[in-house]
Chains A and B, each alone.
Chain A
Amino acid sequence: MSIWTRTRRNIVLATASTAIFASSALSAGVQAPKDDALKVMQLPIRTDGPKSLDPVVGSTTYDNMACAQFYETLLTNKYASPMEMEPLLLSEMPITQDGGTTWHFKLKPEVYFQDNACFPDGKGRLITSDDVFYSIKRLADEKYKLKNWWLLDHTILGFNEYKDIQNAADQFDYDAPVEGFRKINNTEFEIVLEKPVYRFLYILSMFQTSVVSHEAVEFYGENFARNPVGTGPFILDTWVPKQSMTADRNPNYHAVFYPERSEWSKVDKRNRLHRAAGKQVPFVDRIEFTMFAEDQPMWLEFSKGKLGFSQVPEDYFTEAFDLASKELTEEYLRKGIRYHSNMLLDFTFRGFNMEDEILGGYTPDKIALRRAISYAIDLDEINKTFYNGRQIVYDGPIPPGLEGHPENHRADAAARGPNLSKAKKLLAEAGYPNGEGLPPIRFLTSQSAINNAVGEMVKRQLAEVNIKFEPVYLDFSTLIENINKKKAPMFGFAWASDYPDAENNLALFYGPNESPGSNHYNYKRPEYDALYEKILTMGPSDERTAIYEQMRDMVLDDCAYVGGMARERFYLINPWLRNCKPTERYYGWFKYLDVDDDARN
């Protein structure tokens, strides 16, 4: 090959590579460097993030987390005390004068939708009573597959009829009236319920009932779910599925202020959470979420100081905390990192299918069999071995912190193990003395390293009373499929409460909610169902708490499941992130966060 040929080839190669890099750089739209004065906050989302940014089709925690930055609800949780509610798009809490059937709402003035191309001249307009009705009506539209219809089914007067008529018609008419929606003027309205339903106010704080504008829904059509236009504190910039999401501050955000000093507890004040009291939010100009499907990169990015906070993954707990005291290690304290822990409204359990030929049924022998299994399982051993003893083992389906939860987490009606002698006795009463004649119990649960290990431990525990246990590990969707089709004799599952009221958990055993509904046990007791229907209309009272306890004990007597357990979630917070008190009750609290760039390094 001549020198010229070789040189010419090299020139061609060099030119080609330069062109490729240049064009790729151009197509990548190399971003202009961000203004250093801007406050940018980097936060993690554990897992692959949201699936949809349309409130009415969202259902996961991560849909909630994302939607809450762009949309707002009429009511919300209080940042300083998340179990309590406060108005968000309302100027005051809704009022009722007839015991909870008719609710009067007054919208907060000067709340605008975010500026967007869907509005004339791109300027967001004021929200009105019609927007609230429109947003709620979307839940009834079959176009959105009624994914969250269950929240308002048989709740608002005339709403079920409206849903049936509109979905049967050629076109869904959002202007058609609903008997229970009464507009007074653009900022005041009433909602009339079929009967008083206490959870109604909680529903109005759930992200699925966020207020959206019909202009945006019509303008973006099928793509509305990735073009959120709400009244929230942030405006979506980019969303790369499973990867990242960025949002900029909404310059027209209505007047929302950081909680007053008096609202914070002593512990919160010690953590200086009160220092921004009374200031208008949001504080940061930009929020950048990165999704982490695996824990290691999230943990390392947090340790490097790049992320504002991080949940503490199970495998890293002992790296950050002293196991005995549950306090941060010296190393972390030196770095200025602090922690915050939350008790989740969690109910993890191993359920029985009450329609199963062997394990199901309500006769004394069937109940004895389930109770024998429950007595043979040692949940404390599971807790100590796999969760560093950080979960709370409790009796009944009502998680800690809610009315109806038993004192010291123990209820007399529970078949709490380990009690092998009782288990053997009950096994004999069930017709399987020493486990003889009892076929192996198929237990379906989702595939994960921890579930596999727990499954093996339960197998060993049950073997001590000669019960054969066959764990089957499935991907989550196959597990759900089996449970929905009532094919799982026993199954491992969990329920996170939608709102802080035991009614939400007690609904898991309400007969009409049987699979594919949330009553995966297919538990059916007419007296239980009657009590459930009664509590729906009751506000907090001693009488209601007594009924909660009665229902809890019914389920425990029948032993519809083995459990439960609740998780305590630990968060670490880097010193540059201010005002951070993580909660999983709601996700509208990111607007209260601030960054101190001087403290980053």
Chain B
Amino acid sequence: MWTYIVRRTLYNIPVFLAIIFLMMAALRVSDPVSAQLSKNPSPEEIKLKKIEFGLDKPFVVQYGIFMRQLVFLDFSERSWDQEFTVKEMITKSIPPSMAVTIPTLAITASIAICVGLISAFYRGRAPDKILMFIAVIGMSISVLVYIMIGQYWGAYLPSNVFKDWPFQISVDASAGSSPWFFFIPSNWVAYCMLPVIINVTVALGYDTRFYRAVMVEESQKDYIRTARAKGASVKRVMFVHMLKNAMIPIITRIMISLPFIITGSILIEVYFGIPGMGRTLIKAINAKDFPVIQTFTALFAALFIASNILTDVLYALADPRVRLS
């Protein structure tokens, strides 16, 4: 297995280099200096900014410099837009995002798999139709609508009635500067639980439909009929036989979502004031803050490649027929 992991990692190095190259080239189509100038910029100010940003150097040199920073894990370059290093911005933004995305992923996957199983079991009958109708409705409504309604009806209105209502409208200054603030249970309930509920509601529709399709396909296989014929209970057939054999698509779905736990959710973070990666990233994109965009993209690409390799390893663990070679 380790040989396989090492080989796959080596194969992916050119892919990683190409991703960074393309991303850096695409970013440089527009001029980032304009976004950082004063109200009345002089050609002198523009020239100094270009030198400061290293944009006066040839593209290949810029690429080389960034690759060197990646190899040595040197993220001390300063953001072009804020007075903080890229390392500070990313390390302070990822934990708050994860306080929302990890519970969202875990809850959504658990509920969606169960609903998918139930729906597949009652395929074509009323429970299936009702569940799928709810799923389609859930995924058809924009997340923005859920946020606005959730914030108003889930936090603002009840807090006017119940003094100790747990959900807050948004994160305020009392949260301080620690990125781990949201991992304290009482803070998590106050600031993250409502966003998680909204995220789960939105994601549930997509996941439920996917898992239902997987389970329906699985339920039509011969081994299910055999298990039923041998007298296995419905519960055992569903949660032991069927679920075990459906693990490959489930692993694929979950693993593909895994890198996104660091990206956060832009709208959720902006509305609920969660100082996460989604908010940092959209701000960086708007301000053409290349150091932050580049570093984050590199991090995300590395995570994506790692999760792909891990997916293959998990396939082998989940299904004895799969051999890593």
Contacts and interface: CB of A to CB of B under 8 A. Distances in A.
Interface stretch (B13-21, B37-45, B65-73): B37-45
A472 to B, nearest CB: 14
A284 to B, nearest CB: 14
A142 interface: yes
Nearest to A208: B38
Size bracket of the B interface: 35 or more
A9 interface: no
Interface stretch (A146-154, A341-349, A399-407): A146-154
Contact of B183 (A21, A145, A480, A513): A21
A484 B172 CA distance: 38
B42 A146 contact: yes
B1 interface: no
Interface stretch (B214-222, B281-289, B305-313): B281-289
Interface string B161-205: 000000001111111111011011100000000000000000000
B184 A142 contact: no
A517 interface: yes
Interface string A16-54: 000011001101111100000000001000001001111
A301 B170 contact: yes
A292 B41 contact: no
Contacts of A240: 92, 175-177, 275
A304 interface: yes
Contact of B46 (A27, A54, A516): A516
Interface string A115-138: 000000000000000000000000
Size bracket of the A interface: 35 or more
Contacts, number: 166
A476 B286 contact: yes
Contacts of B82: 51-52, 241-242
Contacts of B41: 150, 484, 516-517
A150 B183 contact: no
Interface string A53-89: 1100001000000000000000000000000000000
Interface in B77-91: 78, 81-84, 89
A279 B38 CA distance: 38
B212 interface: no
A225 B171 CA distance: 25
B146 interface: no
A513 B38 CA distance: 13
Contact of B38 (A42, A48, A148, A301): A148
A241 B89 contact: yes
A64 to B, nearest CB: 12
B286 A475 contact: yes
Contact of B271 (A29, A59, A296, A478): A296
Nearest to A482: B34
Main secondary structure of the interface of A (DSSP, over half): mixed
A383 interface: no
B40 A290 contact: no
A260 B48 CA distance: 47
A42 B174 CA distance: 10
Nearest to A29: B178
Contacts of B37: 147, 480, 484, 516
B209 interface: no
B32 interface: yes
Contacts of B89: 241
B193 to A, nearest CB: 15
Contacts of B48: 142, 145-146
Contact of A146 (B31, B45, B83): B45
Interface in A228-249: 238-246
A476 B169 CA distance: 29
Given A225-B83, A518-B39, A290 B176 contact: no
B74 to A, nearest CB: 15
B324 interface: no
Nearest to B174: A288
Nearest to B82: A241
Contacts of A297: 151, 169-170, 271-273
Contact of B185 (A21, A242, A288, A291): A21
A306 interface: yes
Interface in A478-513: 478, 480-481, 484-485, 498, 513
Top-10 shortest CB links A-B: A477-B35, A244-B173, A288-B173, A481-B34, A24-B183, A297-B170, A225-B83, A243-B275, A28-B178, A518-B40
Given A243-B275, A290-B170, 20 more contacts: A21-B185, A42-B172, A48-B283, A145-B45, A145-B52, A149-B45, A226-B83, A240-B275, A243-B173, A243-B175, A246-B173, A289-B173, A296-B151, A300-B152, A300-B170, A304-B156, A477-B287, A478-B34, A498-B39, A516-B37
Interface of B: 30-32, 34-35, 37-46, 48-49, 52, 78, 81-84, 89, 92, 148, 151-152, 155-156, 159-160, 169-178, 180-181, 183-185, 270-273, 275, 279-280, 283, 286-288
26 contacts: A20-B183, A21-B183, A24-B180, A42-B173, A52-B82, A149-B45, A222-B78, A238-B173, A242-B280, A244-B175, A246-B173, A288-B173, A290-B172, A293-B270, A297-B272, A300-B152, A300-B155, A304-B160, A476-B35, A476-B286, A477-B35, A478-B34, A481-B30, A481-B34, A516-B42, A517-B40
Interface of A: 20-21, 24-25, 27-31, 42, 48, 51-54, 59, 142, 145-150, 153, 222-223, 225-226, 238-246, 288-294, 296-297, 300-301, 303-304, 306, 475-478, 480-481, 484-485, 498, 513, 516-518
